[in-house]
Amino acid sequence: MKPLLKVDDISSFIGPFHILQGVSLEVYPGEVVVILGRNGAGKTTTLRSIVGQVPPSKGAITLDGVSLVNMPTHIAVRQGIGYVPEDYGVFDLLTVEENLALAMRQRDKPTHNRHDEVLEIFPDLRIAFRRLAMTLSGGQRQMLSIARALLNENKIILIDEPSKGLAPIVIERIQKVLLSLKKKSTIVLVEQNFALACAVGDRYYIINDGRTVLNGSIDDLIDDTALQQTHLGLMPA
């Protein structure tokens, strides 16, 4: 089987800083791949490089066989990427309804059906439909951000730290949503919350100092406490 998303040995700079120095990963259709690593390892920059916000200076990125390198962000995401950035990426001064409407790329009937499906998944958003996004809680904003990525027939969804700054009870709800998406979507998840990553992930990649250092199945990682300690700084329970 061919990978849906292939990132091949990319290097990316932010200003003078050489952040990514050899990141490679492959994502196959229908799986959830989790990118793990310590703070500042280059996880978020990897997602930003995929969507063209931080264009790689070296290496290759292909989505379904189409090269994304040097593609402007707005064109890259139109290839079928739903991106949920770490700061939620919602428009504070627009209502929930307007935020959702903006995310709909094709205003045809199937998309409208998805609109209803998405509101079924996130009932909170239906209640807050006419409220400004700035009045939503952190959890609701995260749900709105994920909901927008689900509105279109995206080939892949990139989600950056969905649990960041949220209360445990809200993380549980996000986890349930991600588990419900697992069967239908291909997802790349950057996550610091190890429990959430293990609960939803199929495979993992560990990035350290801008390089992919390890990959494998999540089940193997759960069993290997030494590896968790060495690469993720997790203390044994």
Query: Which range of residues in 36-44, 137-145, 204-212, 214-222 is near other proteins by CB under 8 A?
Result: 137-145
Q: x-or-dash pattern for other proteins, window 54-73, by CB under 8 A?
A: ------------------xx
Cβ contact 193:166 at 8 Å = no
Query: Shortest Cβ distance from residue 175 to other proteins (Å)?
Result: 15
* Whole-number Å distance between alpha carbons of 201 and 152: 22
Q: Percentages helix, strand, coil for the chain, rounded to the nearest 5?
A: 40, 25, 35
For the segment 84-123, give every residue that binds other proteins (CB under 8 A): 85, 89-94, 98, 101-103, 105, 107
Q: Which is nearer to other proteins, 35 or 218 (CB)?
A: 35
Torsion of CA 156, 50, 93, 95, to 10 degrees: 0
Candidate residues 46, 68, 83, 199; the one interacting with other proteins per rule CB under 8 A: 83
The values of phi and psi at residue 123, to 5°, are -60, -25
Give the bridge partners for 84, in sequence order. 159
Q: Which is nearer to other proteins, 90 or 199 (CB)?
A: 90
Q: Which helix (H) or strand (E) covers residue 158, if one does?
A: strand 156-160
| Residues within the interface to other proteins (CB under 8 A) | 51, 53, 72-75, 77-78, 83, 85, 89-94, 98, 101-103, 105, 107, 124, 135-140, 148, 166-167, 170
